[in-house]
Structure 1
Amino acid sequence: MLTLMLCVFGITTGEFVIAGILPDVAADLAVSIPAAGLLVTAYALGMIVGGPVLTALTARFPRKPLITALLGVAVAGNLASTLAPGYPVLFAARVISACVVATFFANAIVVAAASAPPDRQASTVAKLALGMNLAMILGAPLGTAIGHALGWRATFAAITAVCLAGLVLVWRLVPIGLPERPNQRAEVTESGLGVRSELRVFGERDVRLAIALTAVGNAGLLAVFTYLAPLLTGVAGFPAEAVAGLLLVYGVGAALGNLAGGWLYDRAPSASMPGLLALLTAVLAVAWLVGRHPVPAAVTVFLLGAVGFAVIPGMQARVLSAAAEAPTLAIAVNASAYQVAAAFAGWLGGRVIDAAGVRPIYLVAAAVTAAGFMLAVYSGRRTRTPAR
């Protein structure tokens, strides 16, 4: 289990860390900040397109060799990022690294669940997800600190080393065969027969609204996160060395907000989503107002992490509720919607910088989040109608 957590930590750190070293990459490769921001878009597009396609193509592969091969691709992608002679190679390396992420996660969850006792499978899978949280709280700040001290290439070299260590441990410790349950063949058959049901749920308007809410509601915050380093250094006046610590502040806020958001949505599902999106809109507007002052700006970094991630559990719960009869594909598409938002956010922030500078990203993000708030209000009214 710890082996798979380490792998998740390494792969996910590669996704998050670019926000902290964006100015370093731009300066070293002689490209603009908006061009460097497209590296986030490249990673998101790699996950959106590569994940479903690669998962379908490798469905019949034995899991241990497949996971090992996927980690090998992650090692190669991050090594190519380390050695990239220019921006085009780095862009391609980011896409390659991203293509294996969704397929790796899917298979790692199956391995973790199958390796656990029947009464502890859910908790085992939850522990696997801890690797992703640690990547945000520890991996991104540590990677940023390494980048500022030794150069951004050293950051990707460290990620390469972690992924390589995970590959070796998987090869040595993960069992070759997974325990097969007596009804496994029946489950596969039922899954195949359920494809039409999975697709039919997209005919439900509430399912489409829930997925759209994930994309629109997260796009504003993701635009700020993508360009957080230039916002902190170029607007608030923090030294580059402080970005790692502020990313840690953001990650702690995100972890606490995620727990609080789940608790709040369980108790007030109708009011919590629009309420949190309204609060996030306000925090983004305040961040614009106080963005030039270091101490208030640092406080808003924590609040953005906390409020932004408090929204996510409710978004996932809405999709589960709307697609209750066949939720699997809807949840997968919802994850892709988040990556679509990330890709759009990287592009949008770059256009804002080109037109008006870095600071207005806060206001544009607030406007996008306000659109998410209005969508949440509309969606909530539909779910409260008698017909529904």
Structure 2
Amino acid sequence: MILFKHFLIALLIIFTSLSSFAQNEKAEANIREVMKQYDAVGLSVAVVKNNKIIYTHSFGLKNIEHNTPLSDNDIFRIASISKSFSATSIMQLAAAGKLSLDEDFSKLIGFKVRNPKFPDKVITLKMVMSHTASLNDSQGYFSLDGINPDKGVNWAKCYNNYEPGTDYQYCNLDYNMIGTVIEKISGERFDQYVKHHVLDPLGLYAGYCVDSLDNSRFVTIYEYDAKTKQFTPDPGAYNPRREEIKNYVMGYSTPIFSPTGGMKISATDLAKYMMMHMNYGKYPGGNRIIEKKYSKIMQTKVTEKDGYGLAIRTVDDLIPGVTMKGHTGSAYGLFSGMFFQPDKKFGIVVITNGTSAPETDGFNALIKASINSLYNDFIK
């Protein structure tokens, strides 16, 4: 009887393994079809179900010139998903009582941040974090000089014509300024603050500083030219900016690290980070990174436009019939997506280092198709 029971268990294990293998094979075939349709160079994916990472895989190439295959161990600059790491850091400081979301942003950053068309309207930290501060990127965002009235002659052009807090415009400058506030309030250099207070507690290999990471793990990112139908590597994605860092001014030079888009991380580690947000600030069985109250604030829509909260969007048009939370990223030819369902405890991360796919309805077509394919094969 005992032998028969062991035999049944062994059969069950074999059946489960074969079933899982077949599911993976089907899912991978579907992803390869999507990649072929949109000329993807490489694609790294991770799927979370029932609060566990159930699948990770990397497809295609890390580097075209050397025909190097992409692996799960490789890291990408993930572009605007990086904003959520900055927002996470702000929430830690808010929970510690070191700042308030309703605080005058001018006092936090150390120079006047006021829309000259509405000089009496206070621009708050929360407005900047939700892209409702009436700011734009017209004067660039890799330096604060453009918006600082003491440094830039065209600072007034950084402001839109509507009253702060009444409308939404996505703005990269917003989060490079947010990174500066983190630095001024914490006293730690921005990249080090995120490492010590977000990455290390989660056990993630990632960072904003290029020279603090193993550059052999960087995935080459390719811009696609629709006219020539060629992919060209863009070295700007991993520009170490060593000279600028050598002359770094704490509390002002922060945009060098691009808090708005400069995080470098693998799809698998990004999925672990995503799980922390999916569980409202606490990694399952691990460390609490943000207090639940502040995690929920991050995920709450401030504006209907783009469903934007504080570096986390709420979207209903990514997967049909499913409301998701998360963010996308695009820069240098890279496209990324990190979206999760906090109630049902599933989420999907996809990152490509190059594709011919266009953007439609606010999503890169490859990213949207890949997420839907993985959802249908592993979640649905």
Which of the pair is proportionally richer in strand? 2
What is the TM-score with the length of structure 1 in the denominator?
0.21
Larger radius of gyration: 2
